């Protein structure tokens, strides 16, 4: 039997286990990336593991999230990351150079290679046939040290594309259609591969919009084949030698196959507060809007911004709308400037932001109270924009630009002329903002620069044999890491300071949670389905650990967050019967007997609450058992 694209890459990188779907495998990682909001924790852990020099083919540290500097904290973090990168053999992309996923694609991605990143949108690289996976920071640190990266061998989902996109219908509409088909849990435990004749009609930036937002399906990653379109893109980046073709074998086996006719798609929007709450733009047409934000790792390519500039050229943004544009990279920004498109954007009234994540992570541009914001981003979770009662809709650059002109939700197909955008034969290449590390013989001379806001990472400890405590929080389904550990301009500066960060933990759901957790000396959290979806931030495990959370009992967990819980010694327990979720309430005293033994050796587990005895399940691989029993991956790696 033939192989899927993912199986071919996994097979050539397999270090441990067998390619049997559902089993645990360890793979060799060729490249890693970090960004600054998760990066300080990654490098603190790299240091804690006594790794002097990274062992990957390439590791890059990007600064793109915390670029707003209203105090010393972010600037100190950047300085720390720059110095630690230089010392340990990591390339450093300076602030202002752009968003990690966009730059990595332009300058470093290689079809057929493996990449893990401490950011959930690392699968963007799948648009050129690179296996990119989002991971917790500690997993990334281990991979930098040359260790294998462990995942459950995913099942394979295939999406066949046919036809071609109509004018003003975009790649964003394709992924929104997939989200409406599969939902935010539809990709959990799976790799999504795109194939079929329609693939050839999509450029690399369009493919990466689709693979980027595959993260919102909960998928391990998404992949396009590496074909002639990929070769041309890499050649235009001056990197043709990085190209190699990769396709799925015709007889590859998939667990599910879906068909999407590109020519039948219409403009779509994800409505508040979930990326899979999808409706057609025509249904929403006429709704008054206050703000439009164009950018993020989903839609900030040259192709996207040239399209937006062409739509806005010679016109004026509606007086009731504030429009921001953040280019994805310095390459995009300079090319927009050189061809005059930047002037068209400025002239139409766009507020141009620096090349960074910006409003996507709540770093500025929060909407007005109760405001309606149309964003070309990938997440519209409650409060993520910085305004709790705002309504955020996720749309294509085409829909965003048309709506910015009219001041209401507008189907871009009303624009008479669809802009024709052709990608250049040669992008403007200048890597002057990506610093080289020091050569190994000079590394000893480099001083690591730490600021007062950079605090040590808390260490986990082995689970108790009998856990007796209280339910200190009960939450519903699809809790995101933005609920657990919110981001935004006020909180992100404390990503290197877990004690300070803990004051904000879960406050979106329950303002009293941090106080209660402290007063009770910790306890357990009860969650619903897909607990911990969204970002890869390990702070969503580290901070609860700091607040004394010893276990989370949920109906099910999202992949990266579950791995992060295990990495920090928090036990991810599942209800054997989902209905038992109703039996536990905030403040209940609970007891779990034999927890440590069950972690080590398996066996039956119950949670006792009053008269009730509720069955739990804890499915762990041998490796995960050892990690949890050691109180987390750092202890396990160091043999503590």
State the residues that interact with ligand SF4 by CB under 6 A: 65, 99, 119, 121, 296-297, 357, 360-361, 377-378
Helix, strand, coil percent values for the chain (each to nearest 5):
35, 20, 45
Task: Tokens for 443, please give them.
Answer: 């590394």
Closest approach of Cβ 296 to ligand MIC, in Å? 8
Task: Decide which of ligand MIC, ligand SF4, none touches 536; Cβ closer than 5 to 8 Å per partner kind.
Answer: ligand MIC
Which range in 426-434, 445-453, 535-543, 596-604 contacts ligand MIC by CB under 6 A?
535-543
214 vs 632, beta carbon nearer ligand SF4: 214
Task: Decide which of ligand MIC, ligand SF4, none touches 99; Cβ closer than 5 to 8 Å per partner kind.
Answer: ligand SF4
The overall longest dimension of the chain from CA atoms, in Å, is: 72
62 vs 581, beta carbon nearer ligand SF4: 62
297 vs 491, beta carbon nearer ligand SF4: 297
Task: Decide which of ligand MIC, ligand SF4, none touches 508; Cβ closer than 5 to 8 Å per partner kind.
Answer: none
Contact code string over 89-108 relative to ligand MIC, x by CB under 6 A: --------------------
Length of the chain: 640
For position 537 contacting ligand MIC by CB under 6 A, the verdict is: yes
For position 172 contacting ligand MIC by CB under 6 A, the verdict is: no
For position 361 contacting ligand MIC by CB under 6 A, the verdict is: yes
Task: Decide which of ligand SF4, ligand MIC, none touches 85; Cβ closer than 5 to 8 Å per partner kind.
Answer: none
Closest approach of Cβ 357 to ligand SF4, in Å? 3
Contact code string over 238-267 relative to ligand MIC, x by CB under 6 A: ------------------------------
Task: Tokens for 68, please give them.
Answer: 């707003």
Which range in 70-78, 114-122, 276-284, 507-515 contacts ligand MIC by CB under 6 A?
114-122
99 vs 336, beta carbon nearer ligand SF4: 99
Beta bridge mates, 616: 575, 605
Closest approach of Cβ 540 to ligand MIC, in Å? 8
| 379 phi/psi in degrees, rounded to 5 | -135, 135
For position 121 contacting ligand MIC by CB under 6 A, the verdict is: yes
Distance of CA 602 to the CA centre of its chain: 32
- Given 38, 220, 301, 567, the residue binding ligand MIC (CB under 6 A): 38
Q: How many CA atoms lie within 13 A of 76 on its CB side?
A: 16
In the block, residue with structure tokens 């006020």: 490
Closest approach of Cβ 102 to ligand MIC, in Å? 13
- Given 487, 570, 607, 628, the residue binding ligand MIC (CB under 6 A): 487
Asked whether 184 and 278 are in contact (CB, 8 A), the reply is no
Strands (DSSP E) found in 542-611: 549-554, 571-575, 589-592, 605-609
Beta bridge mates, 613: 608
Closest approach of Cβ 528 to ligand SF4, in Å? 24
In angstroms, the Cα distances linking 563 to 155, 393, 407, 557 are 18, 30, 43, 9
Task: Decide which of ligand MIC, ligand SF4, none touches 525; Cβ closer than 5 to 8 Å per partner kind.
Answer: none
Which range in 40-48, 530-538, 591-599, 618-626 contacts ligand MIC by CB under 6 A?
530-538
Closest approach of Cβ 297 to ligand MIC, in Å? 8
User: What CA dihedral angle connects 221, 363, 517 and 560, to 10 degrees?
Assistant: 10
533 vs 635, beta carbon nearer ligand MIC: 533
Give the contacts of 64 (CB within 8 A, at least 6 positions apart): 35, 36, 93, 95, 97, 98, 99, 100, 355, 356, 357
203 vs 296, beta carbon nearer ligand MIC: 296
* Total residues binding ligand MIC (CB under 6 A): 14
Closest to 438 (Cα-Cα) out of 174, 88, 152: 88
296 vs 410, beta carbon nearer ligand SF4: 296
Task: Tokens for 589, please give them.
Answer: 């005293």
Sign of the torsion formed by the C-alpha atoms of 490, 495, 496 and 500: positive
118 vs 410, beta carbon nearer ligand SF4: 118
- Given 73, 119, 382, 574, the residue binding ligand MIC (CB under 6 A): 119
Rounded CA-CA distance 19/263 in Å is 36
487 vs 599, beta carbon nearer ligand MIC: 487
| 252 phi/psi in degrees, rounded to 5 | -60, 150
SS3 per-residue string spanning 394-443: ECCHHHHHHHHHHCECCCHHHCCCCCCCCCCCCCCCCCCCEECCCCHHHH
Closest to 599 (Cα-Cα) out of 623, 627, 629, 574: 629
In the block, residue with structure tokens 């790299």: 46
Strands across the sheet containing 291-294: 278-280, 268-270, 391-394, 372-375, 291-294, 322-325, 351-352
| 475 phi/psi in degrees, rounded to 5 | -125, 170
Residue 13: in which H helix or E strand, if any? helix 5-13
Task: Decide which of ligand SF4, ligand MIC, none touches 567; Cβ closer than 5 to 8 Å per partner kind.
Answer: none
Which range in 113-121, 166-174, 242-250, 266-274 contacts ligand MIC by CB under 6 A?
113-121
Asked whether 636 and 600 are in contact (CB, 8 A), the reply is no
99 vs 229, beta carbon nearer ligand SF4: 99
Closest approach of Cβ 377 to ligand MIC, in Å? 8
Task: Decide which of ligand SF4, ligand MIC, none touches 296; Cβ closer than 5 to 8 Å per partner kind.
Answer: ligand SF4
Task: Decide which of ligand SF4, ligand MIC, none touches 38; Cβ closer than 5 to 8 Å per partner kind.
Answer: ligand MIC
Rounded CA-CA distance 497/517 in Å is 18
For position 37 contacting ligand MIC by CB under 6 A, the verdict is: yes
Closest approach of Cβ 397 to ligand SF4, in Å? 14
Question: Which residues of the chain form contacts with ligand MIC (CB under 6 A)?
Answer: 37-38, 65, 119-121, 134, 361, 379, 487, 534-537
């Amino acid at each position: 039997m033939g192989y899927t694209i993912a199986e071919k890459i996994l097979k050539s990188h397999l270090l441990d286990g067998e390619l049997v779907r559902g089993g645990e495998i360890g793979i060799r990682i060729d490249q890693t990336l970090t960004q600054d909001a998760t990066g300080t924790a990654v490098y603190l852990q790299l240091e804690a593991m006594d790794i002097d020099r990274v062992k990957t083919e390439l590791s890059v540290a990007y600064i793109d999230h915390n670029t707003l500097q209203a105090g010393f904290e972010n600037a100190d973090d950047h300085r720390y990351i720059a110095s630690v990168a230089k010392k340990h053999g990591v390339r450093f992309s300076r602030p202002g150079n752009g968003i990690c996923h966009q730059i990595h694609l332009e300058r470093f991605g290689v079809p057929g290679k493996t990449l893990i990143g401490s950011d959930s949108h690392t699968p963007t690289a799948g648009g050129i046939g690179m296996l990119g996976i989002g991971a917790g920071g500690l997993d990334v640190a281990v991979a930098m040290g040359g260790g294998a990266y462990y995942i459950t061998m995913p099942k394979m989902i295939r999406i066949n594309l046919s036809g071609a996109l109509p004018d003003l219908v975009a790649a964003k509409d394709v992924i929104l259609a997939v989200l409406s088909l599969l939902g935010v849990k539809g990709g959990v435990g799976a790799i999504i591969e795109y194939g079929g004749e329609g693939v050839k009609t999509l450029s690399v930036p369009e493919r990466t919009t689709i693979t980027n937002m595959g993260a919102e399906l909960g998928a391990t990653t998404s992949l396009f084949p590496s074909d002639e379109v990929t070769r041309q893109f890499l050649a235009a980046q001056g990197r043709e030698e990085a190209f190699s073709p990769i396709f799925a074998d015709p007889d590859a086996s998939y667990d599910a196959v879906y068909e999407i006719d590109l020519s039948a798609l219409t403009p779509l929007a994800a409505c508040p507060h979930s990326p899979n709450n999808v409706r057609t733009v025509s249904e929403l047409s006429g709704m008054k809007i206050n703000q439009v934000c164009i950018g993020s790792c989903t839609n900030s390519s040259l192709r996207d911004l040239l399209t937006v500039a062409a739509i806005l050229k010679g016109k004026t943004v509606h007086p009731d709308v504030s429009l921001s544009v953040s280019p994805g990279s310095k390459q995009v920004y300079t090319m927009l400037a050189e061809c005059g498109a930047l002037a068209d954007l400025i002239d139409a009234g766009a507020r141009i932001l620096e090349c960074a994540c910006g409003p996507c992570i709540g770093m500025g541009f929060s909407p007005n109270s109760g405001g309606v914001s149309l964003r070309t981003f990938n997440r519209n979770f409650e409060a993520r924009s910085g305004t709790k009662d705002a309504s955020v809709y996720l749309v294509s650059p085409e829909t965003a630009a048309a709506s910015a002109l009219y001041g209401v939700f507008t189907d871009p197909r009303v624009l008479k002329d669809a802009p024709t955008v052709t990608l250049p034969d040669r992008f403007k290449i200048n890597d002057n903002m990506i610093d080289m590390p020091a050569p190994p013989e000079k590394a000893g001379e480099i001083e690591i620069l730490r600021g007062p806001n950079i605090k040590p990472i808390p260490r986990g400890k082995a689970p108790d044999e009998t856990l007796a405590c209280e339910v200190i929080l009960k939450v519903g389904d699809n809790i995101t890491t933005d609920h657990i550990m919110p981001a935004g301009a006020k909180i992100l500066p404390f990503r290197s300071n877990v004690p300070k960060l803990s004051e904000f933990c879960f406050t979106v759901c329950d303002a009293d949670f941090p106080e209660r957790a402290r007063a009770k000396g910790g306890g357990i959290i009860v969650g619903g389905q897909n607990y911990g979806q969204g970002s890869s931030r390990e702070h969503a495990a580290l901070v609860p650990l700091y607040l004394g959370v010893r276990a989370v009992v949920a109906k099910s967990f999202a992949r990266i967050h579950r791995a992060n819980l295990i990495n920090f010694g928090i036990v991810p327990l599942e209800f054997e019967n989902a209905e038992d979720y109703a039996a536990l309430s905030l403040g209940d005293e609970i007891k779990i007997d034999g927890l440590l033994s069950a972690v080590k050796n398996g066996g039956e587990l119950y949670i006792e609450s009053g008269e009730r005895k509720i069955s739990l399940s804890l499915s762990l691989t041998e490796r995960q058992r050892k990690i949890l029993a050691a109180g987390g991956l750092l202890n396990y790696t160091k043999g503590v």
